[in-house]
Structure 1
Amino acid sequence: MDIIPAIDLIGGQCVRLTEGDFTQQTTYHTDPVEVAKQFEGLGLSRLHLVDLDGARAKQPVNLLVLERIASQTKLHIDYGGGLQSSEAVRQAFNAGAKQITAGSIAVREPVTVEAWLKEYGADRIIIGADFKNNHIAINAWADQSELTLETFLASFAEKGGKTFICTDVSKDGKLQGSSIEVYQRLLEQFPTLQFIASGGVTTIEEVRQLREAGLHGSIIGKAIYEGTISLEDLSKEVI
């Protein structure tokens, strides 16, 4: 299982939100490049980079930060936030992203994301499946759609999607544990898909449970910054 530390960006700085709420923001570090180098120095090879400014602006805002991290580390970066057009996706790849995450646009414009899957391949396009109470969350997590998580996943599996970041919005940033039961159910229902757990991962024991359950990856954010998971312990989990 891939261990994937997260950096969320606002104003070029590392922040974390609670339940995606911009009014519940904590700033942890002023230089995300130094944080990324620290991750790499401990043997971690992946990075989940989220442009929260871009998500609000509906276009990438922190591409320079992406470019700096990509040029100063060898981390495999997946980038999301504000990717609402084919041009924005091209900009992200040109700035050094190895993968991009298609979030709300996958709900609003599935045909567009299907075209990206065909153009770049399923290995480079991750589908973001943000959910709450088993329904897909939209509009920066403020609203809950009528689309169920399973229906959404099945639809994109038919379109060629392979890898999905499944974020439980109700748990994100709360350090109260992840939705491992949901992930176990999804793995049983969709055995050919790759699922990356996101939201609420709090302890190193949880990381091990997610690996044992068969998750493709686990994104870890606030637990690192708050110290409930040490970077040293996390580095020992890297295979």
Structure 2
Amino acid sequence: MLLLPAIDLMAGQVVRLKQGRVTEKTVYSGDPAEVARQWETIGGDWLHLVDLDAAFEGSSRNLASVRAICQAVTIPCELGGGMRSKTSIRAALDAGVSRIVLGTRASESLEFVRDMCLAFGDNRIAISIDAYNGLVATNGWTHRTDQHASDLALAVQKAGASTIIYTDITTDGMLQGPNFRGLSLLLSLLSCQLIASGGISSVADLQRLNAMPRLHGSIIGKALYDGHIKGDLRSVLSPRES
């Protein structure tokens, strides 16, 4: 199982939001590149970057920070947030990221998913599905739909997506454990790579995720920043790694 430390960017700072609420923001650093180096040093396989300004407002103010992060580390980076056009995707790839994460736009248009996978390669496009009580949420989690996350996952897989990131909003930033039931359901339905996000609070959570057959990776956020998970990340996993 791959480990993907998260770096959420807002106005050039590294922040964390509780359940996606800007009113509950914690600023951790004004030096995103240094944070990136730290997460690489402790064993991150990828970095999961999120441009929160772009997610909420539709336009990025953090590409300079993204570029600095990509230049500071040797592990690959993926970027989500505001990736709603071919132009924004190309700009992010030019900044050095290895994979783009499509969220809101993917839920709006399967044709867009298909076109971007064809244009850039399915290995450079991941689909983020954010869910609240099993239903898809979009636009930086501010809009909740009546579409089931599992239905969207199957649809984007059919459209060509080879990687899906599933975030349970109710667990994100709460340090109460991931939604294992939701992940198990998706793993039973999908053949593409699935990455878990939200709720990881401890080494025990990581070990339980690592034991789930076919789970491709896990994104770790608040548990790292608040010190609930420390030291060499690779050392906490059993031999199923990767």
- TM-score normalised by the shorter chain: which range applies? over 0.9
Residues paired across the two proteins, number: 237
Match of 1:74 in 2: 74
Deviation at 1:233, TM superposition (A): 4.3
Q: Which residue of 2 aligns with 1:19?
A: 19
CA contact (8 A) 1:165 1:195 kept: yes
Q: Secondary structure at the match of 2:211?
A: helix
Contact kept? 1:201, 1:220, Cα under 8 Å: yes
Q: CA deviation at 1:72?
A: 2.0
What's 2:32 paired with? 32
RMSD after superposition? 1.3
- State the alpha-carbon separation in 2 of the partners of residues 87 and 6 from structure 1: 24
Contact 2:7 2:32 in 1 (8 A): yes
Structure 2 length normalisation: TM-score? 0.94
> Unpaired segments of 5 or more residues in structure 2?
none
Question: Which amino acid in the other structure matches residue 49 of structure 2?
Answer: L
- 1:235 to partner: Cα distance: 3.8
Q: How does 1:34-53 map to 2 (within 5 A)?
A: 34-53=34-53
Q: How many Å separate the matches in 1 of 2:77 and 2:219? A: 12
> Residue by residue, what CA displacement relative to the aligned partner does 1:188-238 show, whole Å, maximum 9, x if unpaired?
122x121100011111111111111031000000000111111x1424247
Aligned partner letter, 2:25: Q
Calculate percent identity across the aligned residue pairs. Answer: 37
- What is the identity, as a one-letter code, of the residue corresponding to 2:210? R
8 A Cα contact 2:19 2:172, kept in partner: yes
Q: Does 1:111 align with 2:111?
A: yes
Does 1:198 pair with 2:182?
no
Give the SS at the match of 1:130.
Answer: strand
Does residue 209 (structure 1) correspond to residue 208 (structure 2)? The answer is yes
**Residue of structure 1 in register with 2:229 after alignment:** 229
Could you say what secondary structure the match of 1:160 adopts? coil
Aligned to 1:106, the other structure's residue is in SS state: helix
Q: Unaligned regions of 5+ residues in structure 1, if any? A: none
Letter aligned with residue 44 of structure 1: G
- Contact 1:45-1:74 within 8 A present in 2 as well: no
Match of 1:174 in 2: 174
TM superposition score normalised by structure 1: 0.95
Query: Does 205-214 or 106-115 show the bigger shift?
Result: 106-115
